[in-house]
A = this chain, B = another copy of it.
Amino acid sequence: MLIVMDHEATSQQVEGVCDAVRRLGLTPKPMPGAERTAIGIVGNDGPIDPARFHGLPGVREAVSISAPYKQVSREWHARDSVIALPNGTRIGGDHVVVMGGPCSVESEAQLMATAEVVARSGATVLRGGAFKPRTSPYAFQGLGHEGLRLLAKARDRFGLAIVTEALDVANLDAVAEAADIVQVGARNMQNYALLKQLGRIGKPVLLKRGMAATVKEWLLAAEYIIAKGNPEVILCARGIRGFDSATRNVLDVGSIALVKQLSHLPVIADPSHATGVRELVVPTARAAVAAGADGVIVETHPKPCEALSDGQQALFPAQFGEMVDQLGVIAAAIGRSMHPSQARSAA
């Protein structure tokens, strides 16, 4: 913590701040400058609320120095975390992982057709929403528990791992039982009740970045889950809100590279929701892997034009396969490789 005084602050005001610091059991360290005095604080272990100093006479600003998170930080845990799934997929190591599937589980036929495409292409994780967060109360809300049952069936048939979203605490247990990875949507990134429960489920969590969340807030949301007992968090960049409606959101590739430096957690990207436009999905998926992402999660649908949700961003099956091939070459270009497909070897 550094407290910056007004340039006209009196020495009594400086001393007043120093006293306030001492009352918290800490040591003030005044630094008189040509224009103004600043006061450093020595000896604090945890974060101090800057508000404690804002109201004191002569104070201009109070600046925090420490990062507010610990357990997610690479500063305290230098090695990459690697998360292992039951089907052998490992997320966060040398390999690049591809997760694919429909926006929503719509029917058994649709899901099995998609799962086959996903498995055949070499991807190892199947995505699909059973409970759907929809902006409009009148839009299709998902098949619910029946959707979970179908996902489990697809897993058994194709050897894929399953990632699907939990919308709230009430359906969390059902989702956690059915899924190999529990997804938290962007709109729920700061649903703290949900984050706390996720600390107790014993399954990996895919935590999407909120549309207007800073990297610090995103890492703090991960810290919530870890602080409650679950270290298996996968971060997912899904696009931030921008000012241009030409694309749905903005894929912030710089944040992918930044988070890989700040944290030991794996980071994947969701180019489907980041762009919202089919033609932009493959180029941005490649960009994410080139920037260092540990994988991507991409929507595909056997018949995008008939999809009940988000059809305009779903890849056609053939596009999905080509994307996996391209990502493999990009991964190799930066010294990584595609995840060896469990599904393929099983076939």
Contacts and interface: CB of A to CB of B under 8 A. Distances in A.
A170 interface: yes
A250 B247 contact: no
A217 interface: yes
A287 interface: yes
Interface stretch (A94-102, A112-120, A147-155, A276-284): A276-284
A135 interface: yes
A11 interface: no
A7 B283 contact: no
Interface residues of A, number: 118
A291 interface: yes
A80 interface: no
A326 to B, nearest CB: 7
Interface in A37-62: 38, 40-47, 49-56, 61
A254 B247 contact: yes
Contact of A246 (B8, B52, B214, B289): B214
B40 A31 contact: yes
Given A46-B138, A193-B168, A311 B51 contact: yes
Interface in A291-319: 291-292, 304-312
Interface stretch (A122-130, A219-227, A339-347): A219-227
Given A31-B29, A49-B311, A284-B253, A223 B274 contact: no
A239 B187 CA distance: 17
Interface in A176-202: 187-194
A329 interface: yes
A47 B260 CA distance: 32
Contacts of A215: 244, 246
Contacts of A43: 33-34
A286 B275 contact: no
A85 interface: no
A166 B172 CA distance: 19
Nearest to A216: B246
20 contacts: A29-B29, A38-B65, A52-B311, A55-B311, A63-B63, A63-B65, A133-B190, A133-B192, A135-B190, A137-B220, A137-B224, A168-B169, A169-B169, A187-B191, A212-B212, A242-B250, A246-B255, A253-B253, A290-B290, A330-B334
Given A34-B43, A55-B305, A136-B220, 5 more contacts: A51-B312, A68-B135, A187-B191, A250-B252, A287-B288
Interface of A: 2, 4, 6-8, 29, 31-36, 38, 40-47, 49-56, 61, 63, 65-66, 68-69, 75-76, 133-138, 167-171, 187-194, 210-212, 214-217, 220, 223-224, 227-228, 239-247, 250-258, 260-261, 274-275, 277-280, 283-284, 286-292, 304-312, 326, 329-330, 332-334
